[in-house]
Structure 1
Amino acid sequence: MEDSEDPNADVQYHIEVGENDVANAVLLPGNPERVEKITQFWDSADEKAFHREYRTVTGDYDGTSISVTSTGIGSPSAAIAVEELARIGADTFIRVGSCGAIQPEMDVGDLVITTGGVRQEGTSDEYVREDYPAVADYEVVAALVAAAERLDYDYHTGITMSADSFYAGQGRPGFEGFLAEGGDELVSHLKAANVKNIEMEASAILTIANVYGLRAGAVCSVYANRETGEFRTEGEHRAAETASLAVKLLARMDEMKAEAGVDRWHPGLSLD
């Protein structure tokens, strides 16, 4: 088979960054405007590129090199970001976003740390068979939990559903009240299966990272509770700070693995 066209030369085609522009660990918000809300917690921040929906900044958080790249809305553009960031050396990805909660005990402003994903988005289907699981890396989950605990933020862990549309795919009425087939039962079925939240990127990011042997996870702030009807844009800073601290903790995990001569961090290796 002939080599396919590769549009990437010195810099990556969509994100417009090259080697040495990003850290090993990259935070992935959707909205480019959220980048500054993340970097406000860092000690330094240098913008590397801003092309289309992809805004990339690299800096330092408490002695740890860290980057952020916005992905825009949805899994197709998030997949492009992961692909191109991986090609220039990134190996750890944390989605930092917002979501709708579907369990009644979850409050607006709480954090949801994803352990796995329901792949309702279609992007990951183009990488691997539909019964392949979307699973968060356990080191990333552990680092996010430890960060939320240290920051004393309320959080939940569990399964996230990722959809390809904000309206019909999430059981919301579309234009003129249109409701997709099964939309009226979608949230209740997910709730019964103990799914925690709904958003639009996590399962693709997790799936692609696993296919490539990379680390990935997700932390989202709850903007809406689909059970109670409450909606507020709250908790964004908590997700940003939690993810930034998690990158520092992951770097410490990597140091401890090297010192112990093991491939994976485990609870027997303290983070202190």
Structure 2
Amino acid sequence: MTDTSPKPTATSGDMKRLLALEALDMPKYVLMPGDPERIDLMASQWKDARVIQLPRGYRAASGTFDGQRIGAISTSIGAPSLELVFTDMARLGVHTYLRVGTCGTLREDIATNSLIINDSAVRLDGTTNFYARAEYPATASHEVTIALCEAVQSLGEPLHVGTGCTSGSFLAGQGRPGLNNFLSAEGERIFAEMTQLGVLNFEMETSSLLTLARIFGFRAGAVVSVIANRITGVWGDEGGIEKACLAGAGALARLSRWDAAAAAAGRKVLTLSDMKC
């Protein structure tokens, strides 16, 4: 019998990427780092991992972590790039997304190599305003956030959970000096405002993922490793990125088990009883 079901269409016109992801048989639970090299780090933490190179420098992987099949795909830098990758992944049937990235914290007491779980984000990403008015919230799935909290605690790490700020700029938009020490008055204002509001960190992708997932009915969350303290000026990874990758994989494995428990009980929404497995 001929298969007449509709085939996914690549958002950006790059069918090579979509066909490669179909061949990889991407799982429905996916990590989304920006850096393509982080895909190799993630795969090294899994069993039966397979990594593929995609057009335009993207990279993807699938494998098993804690007995559950999970995947990963790089998104490159910023909201416009994530928008393309997210849309193609959604068309392939992925329903659970977890950003694993890096950030600069706005809290003096949060050290570099710490992990931050963003349950929400200020939408300064420059992309999501084309989808929703500015007042529309960028919020994580409570299920993904709980799974991340469990995974981070299992690593013996302290919990830092709260709102981040996603900027469409790495330099001026985050209050950093640009070329020739150019300082943006608006960037400096944003830095002061976010600090005053108790925002935990700056990064460049989370609000786009959370907003798009919420609009289109998927689950999403974010865990980021602190590589810069914007208050003290200290920089460094010190193993934080590796921990973030483990936390992300652990969270997806938990969600997969919890979903199976809920399905066995005939429920589509997770309850605390499902989360005990």
Identity %: 36
Equivalent in the alignment of 1:177: 181
Name the CA distance, whole Å, in 1 between partners of 2:12 and 2:163: 35
Tell me if structure 1 keeps the 8 A contact 2:16–2:55: no
Equivalent in the alignment of 2:235: 231
Tell me if structure 1 keeps the 8 A contact 2:43–2:51: no
Equivalent in the alignment of 1:86: 90
Report deviation, 1:20.
Answer: 6.1
2:258 is aligned, of 250, 253, 256, to 253
Report deviation, 1:87.
Answer: 0.5
Structure 1 stretches lacking a partner, 5+ long: none
Report deviation, 1:255.
Answer: 1.4
1:10–1:81: structure 2 CA closer, same or farther, 3 Å change rule? closer
1:15-59 alpha-carbon deviations (Å, 9 max, x no partner): 842276200011000111111111111012112442213201111
2:127 is the counterpart of 1:123: yes
Q: How many residue pairs get matched?
A: 268
Name the CA distance, whole Å, in 1 between partners of 2:14 and 2:37: 27
The 5 Å alignment of 1:1-272 reads: 11=15, 13=17, 16-18=20-22, 21-234=25-238, 235-272=240-277
1:59–1:270: structure 2 CA closer, same or farther, 3 Å change rule? closer
TM-score by length of 1: 0.92
TM-score by length of 2: 0.91
Name the CA distance, whole Å, in 1 between partners of 2:143 and 2:38: 25
1:86–1:12: structure 2 CA closer, same or farther, 3 Å change rule? farther
Which sits farther off after the overlay, 20-29 or 178-187? Answer: 178-187
Q: SS at the partner of 1:103?
A: coil
Q: SS at the partner of 1:261?
A: coil
Structure 2 stretches lacking a partner, 5+ long: 1-8
Report deviation, 1:208.
Answer: 0.4
Report deviation, 1:154.
Answer: 2.6
Tell me if structure 2 keeps the 8 A contact 1:56–1:67: yes
More helix by share: 2
Tell me if structure 2 keeps the 8 A contact 1:22–1:58: yes
Tell me if structure 2 keeps the 8 A contact 1:15–1:49: no
Name the CA distance, whole Å, in 1 between partners of 2:179 and 2:18: 32
The Cα RMSD (Å) is 2.0
1:265–1:19: structure 2 CA closer, same or farther, 3 Å change rule? farther
**Paired AA for residue 166 in structure 2:** S
**Paired AA for residue 143 in structure 1:** A
Tell me if structure 1 keeps the 8 A contact 2:11–2:88: no
Report deviation, 1:247.
Answer: 0.7
